[in-house]
Amino acid sequence: MPEKNAQENCYVHGYSDRECERLADQAQTLTHLLHDDTHYPAGSLVLEAGCGIGAQTIILARNSPDAHITSIDISEDSLRRAEEKVRMEGITNVTFRQGDIFALPFETGSFDHIFVCFVLEHLTEPRRALEELRPLLKEGGTLTVIEGDHGSTFFHPENADARQAVGCLVVLQKKMGGNALIGRQLYPLVASAGYSDVRVSPRMVYVDSSRPGLVEGFTKLTFTTMVEGVTEEVQKQGLMTRDAWERGIAALNRCAEPDGVFCYTFFKATARK
Amino acid sequence: MPEKNAQENCYVHGYSDRECERLADQAQTLTHLLHDDTHYPAGSLVLEAGCGIGAQTIILARNSPDAHITSIDISEDSLRRAEEKVRMEGITNVTFRQGDIFALPFETGSFDHIFVCFVLEHLTEPRRALEELRPLLKEGGTLTVIEGDHGSTFFHPENADARQAVGCLVVLQKKMGGNALIGRQLYPLVASAGYSDVRVSPRMVYVDSSRPGLVEGFTKLTFTTMVEGVTEEVQKQGLMTRDAWERGIAALNRCAEPDGVFCYTFFKATARK
């Protein structure tokens, strides 16, 4: 299954334990901001396309406890972790299934709703993925997509090395066929994939020292940790000197000081078949 | 009054008729996003520090029709325009007075609330301005500050010339002693000026083609028009070549096409004396 392996290798953040922790921290901090307006009715059939290690799955399942959620991912390893997480949380309304988003083993019109979170950024053909998903929806069914956008990042104090370090993430993701600037593009992407009633709303994570949970949970543990996660890759590819990179990381951590500010925007799209 | 003249010359956008129209368009489009949570009680005394040509004054006065608003500005010319605008709107709860924000002719504790909108970005010493305003508040009185942040701008399709063009605004404002990145800094700025209970919230203007009013009113008439407004100054100072500048402007207008997206963030701070 070459596509599966390619897909796995392309997952820019890798699958280390530290990365799994990061994803869990991120999910917790961002739960309200990203998920509070997604509730599926009792009995509805929901497809989560690309569940990864289940960070979003448990939120989805808790917010719609009487919906039936089918979560698929291309990685067997991720699915095992997701299944374990869901079992430990005592969640019983999720079924896991291995599958490729471009060749899903479901009949036309199988689902009332489809949910796609932090997946399109990793795909070479995000529009085709949305096009492939559309027939799986019943008439009038809804699509929900959530993506980040690294180019939305800004902070205080302003720092050129830190900006360049964030830019390296964009470059690396692009080299692997993904798109770290996809959040801002959700409206044209979803609309051009044939969906109607497309609505996109930005969800900015705004962090200053009056919000210590976000300083820890987002500026440091989510964002700066994610940037640090590609240190070796950036060096290997010669995208920044080691010194400049370290100054950039220090500048990002500086934004977690009492007079620092950090801003990052996710985008959430909803649409109908 | 050299300071007054310096201040006037430093107003980066200038005072042309087109600029006045731009400010009026901007005010209308952004009214809800920026002002809907500012209502002052009947009988309260409100200082609007730096009212300019009154674009925000009429919104402020309408949202708090039974408050007494004193609007000051350093420019007699702006005050005349503001007074005319307020008179034409039939608004009667505003008093205008010429004054320098660094030497205001008011007693200690004169006001219940102070409102400052799109002013700090133009000042060399924004923190000192906030410090000077603080004694004018009664104990427990509130401060509200609204500022934009040009560095928060991002768009689709991504374009390097457009980004550089926006960067020119930041450079020009800095050369004139202002700060076009001040929005993100409101939290540390207000807190360090001695206020308490500082709360900052971002107000992103998100524009895609499902929001045609914003495509016209913000992407084109407010933002791109503002950038175009400094064309000659950018050329004079050699910040960009004419060709690159024109490509940048074209790329900003491109974001107003059906598959374009435009994002800009204002910040609103509230605090107590």
Instruction: State the count of interchain CB pairs (< 8 A) between A and B.
Output: 75
**Helix (H) or strand (E) run with residue B166 in it:** helix B160-175
What parts of chain A have a pLDDT lower than 70?
1-29
pLDDT at B9 exceeding the cut of 50: no
* pLDDT above 70: percentage of residues in chain B: 89
Nearest CA in chain B to A211: B199
pLDDT band at B217 (very low <50, low <70, confident <90, very high): confident
In the prediction, which pLDDT does B82 show? 97
pLDDT at B4 exceeding the cut of 50: no
In the prediction, which pLDDT does B14 show? 54
pLDDT at B245 exceeding the cut of 70: yes
* Secondary structure (3-state) at B47: strand
In the prediction, which pLDDT does A8 show? 37
Span of A65-74, A216-225, B69-78, B175-184 with lowest mean pLDDT: A216-225
Average pLDDT over residues B48-67: 96
* pLDDT above 90: percentage of residues in chain B: 85
Chain B environment of A156 (Cβ under 8 Å): 181, 184-185, 188
ipTM score: 0.89
Who wins on pLDDT, B213 or B176? B176
Which residues of A make CB contacts under 8 Å with B? 149, 151-152, 154-156, 158, 181, 184-185, 187-188, 191-192, 198-202, 204, 206, 208-210, 258-261, 263, 265
In the prediction, which pLDDT does A10 show? 35
**Helix (H) or strand (E) run with residue B21 in it:** helix B17-35
Chain B environment of A204 (Cβ under 8 Å): 202, 204, 265
The alpha-carbon gap from B212 to the nearest alpha carbon of chain A, in Å, equals: 13
Encode pLDDT of B228-244 as tens digits: 999 999 999 999 999 99
pLDDT at B6 exceeding the cut of 50: no
Average pLDDT over residues B174-203: 97
Residues forming a β-bridge with A202: A267
The token pair at B155 is: 């768009």
Judge: B154–A158 Cβ closer than 8 Å, yes or no: no
Radius of gyration of the CA atoms of chain A, in A? 18
Average pLDDT over residues B101-107: 93
Judge: B208–A200 Cβ closer than 8 Å, yes or no: yes
In the prediction, which pLDDT does A32 show? 87
Centre a 10 Å sphere on the Cβ of residue A270 and count the other Cβ atoms it contains: 20
In the prediction, which pLDDT does B16 show? 66
Q: What are phi and psi of A98, to 5 degrees?
A: -80, 135
Average pLDDT over residues B86-108: 95
In the prediction, which pLDDT does A149 show? 98
State pTM to two decimals: 0.90
